[in-house]
């Protein structure tokens, strides 16, 4: 199964992001449903049953992972995957600590992650044109997180869904 570890904005925050997108950006193909909004902490890729069990056991033993927040205030674009996203111009230390801890825990569980610079973001559009439009106005949405989640990425003819497999509290 294809998995990742991430943060889930609450319903009110998902609506705020979607509302900003509707008012600040023109209609673009590849719109990500608001129900799928999340912030990835670590992309894990394909896991077998044994790897999934080991990872969950390792995450259960983690203590004192920090609650965190993010101020969504910038629009960004990843050229290679053609992803338009809303992100932040300043990563809070608690969020960076959480992302670093989650990466370390996945490695303790025996998983190898691809090394890349951490860019916390919420994907708004996939397969976006190579020259995405500028926003009419900047986002200004604060998200607070007291839990992190292990998700499965499930593709079907109706699109992608991200059901939560397990959740852990942040303190």
Of the candidates 23, 49, 115, 121, the residue annotated as catalytic is 121
121 an active-site residue? yes
Of the candidates 23, 38, 115, 149, the residue annotated as catalytic is 38
38 an active-site residue? yes
Strands 83-87 and 141-145: unpaired
Residues designated as active site: 38, 121
């Amino acid at each position: 199964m294809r998995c990742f570890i991430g943060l889930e904005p609450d319903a009110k925050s998902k609506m705020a992001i979607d509302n900003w997108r509707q008012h600040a950006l023109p209609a673009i193909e590849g719109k990500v449903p608001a129900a799928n909004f999340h912030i990835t902490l670590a992309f894990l890729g394909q896991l077998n049953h044994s790897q999934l069990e080991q990872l969950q056991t390792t995450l259960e033993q983690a203590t004192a992972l920090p609650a965190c927040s993010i101020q969504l205030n910038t629009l960004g674009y990843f050229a290679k995957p053609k992803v338009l996203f809303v992100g932040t111009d300043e990563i809070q230390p608690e969020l960076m600590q959480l992302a670093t801890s989650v990466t370390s825990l996945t490695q303790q569980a025996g998983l190898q992650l691809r090394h890349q610079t951490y860019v916390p973001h919420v994907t708004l559009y996939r397969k976006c044109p190579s020259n995405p439009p500028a926003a009419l106005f900047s986002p200004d949405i604060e998200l607070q997180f007291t839990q992190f989640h292990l998700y499965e990425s499930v593709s079907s003819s109706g699109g992608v869904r991200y059901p939560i497999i397990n959740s852990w509290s942040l303190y």
